[in-house]
Amino acid sequence: MTKSNAWGDGTLLPLIDTLEEMRAKALEEITGAGDLRRLDEVRVLYLGRKGALTDILRGLKDATPEERPRVGQAANDIKEALAAAVEERQATLEAAELTARAESDRVDLTLPGRKPPKGHIHPIEQTLDRMLDIFRELGFQVATGPDIETEYYNFDALNTPADHPARDMHDTFFVKPGVVLRTHTSPVQIRVMERTEPPVAVVIPGRVYRVDSDATHSPMFVQLEGLLVDRDVTFADLKGTLQRFVERYFGPGVETRFRPHFFPFTEPSAEMDVRWTAKDRDGNEKSSWLELLGCGMVHPKVLQAVGYDPEVYTGYAFGMGIDRLAMVRHGIGAIGHLYENDLRFLEQF
């Protein structure tokens, strides 16, 4: 009784010879399996429900009754031999994988430890630390206050009219009626003066919030407020203090200019600009004036609100964005870079 050869060479072989050929080929492939995945593929190829051994055994229906026991016994012997070979090869491969995994996970205690990378102080914090050092040298103390303020401290006590545009939703974040995210650090001026007799000389760092966003504005930014109140304080004192600060921070020779301006809480008021140079997207340097801070003489109504006699005391105030100081000093083209937490950017500082 003959059957078509399972390996496709077109010859007719007796079933016993076909089984023996399959055994030899299967054992060779089992031994040569390089990993558990390949070994499982070989097992399915020969011993699976649709494997080569099953395919050959289907030919038993054409065998004579005398041949069937002999062929069946031979098939069972081969099946057991292949299963045993698969099991043995599987144990060998699993042991090899375990050894390789153990070797790769092995810790060499004689090697030096890996030092974690050092962190960096954020450029805004670097800028703030430098600014505070300069103002401390000039005799100012540091004061702080809450980020969430009442409209009284944020607007009313600072002589801001009820119909002033800054009170509108498109400029100010309202937490609830009468309560806002502070739009400047000036409310702390009021809080300090309420509990302090003149003379007063403080700088006030902190986060502030405004509905504004572009290359040089952010909805949240960091500001430094300054206040000095005493007898016989003049605008010349204000200009001298700010010019001294700018030269100490940027170095001698930095270009500055003062422009008349209006703030409800100072009179007269001004803005101070510095020459700003940064690279555009094409790598070309561009230079322009950048508003650095607002300043002026404390309005008499603000002094009256805290119980100071404006006939006896005068003072000046100023407020500047720490973010902009960082941008000017380091040539940063957009304020958003300071808040994106991109390590490629931050590690430059």
**Using one digit for the tens of pLDDT, what is the confidence trace for 17-53?**
777 888 888 888 888 888 888 888 888 888 887 777 7
- CA-to-CA dists, residue 175 to 85, 150, 151, 167, 168, angstroms: 75, 10, 11, 13, 13
Model pLDDT, residue 200: 96
- CA-to-CA dists, residue 296 to 234, 236, 263, 285, 311, angstroms: 10, 10, 8, 32, 17
pTM, 2 dp: 0.61
pLDDT tier at 12, thresholds 50, 70, 90? very low
Domain ranges across the chain? 2-105, 123-346
**Using one digit for the tens of pLDDT, what is the confidence trace for 45-77?**
888 877 777 777 776 666 667 767 777 777 788
Fold of the domain built from segment(s) 123-346:
BirA Bifunctional Protein; domain 2 (3.30.930)
Which neighbouring-strand residues pair with 316? Answer: 228, 297
Kindly state the average pLDDT of the residues 70-92: 84
Model pLDDT, residue 270: 95
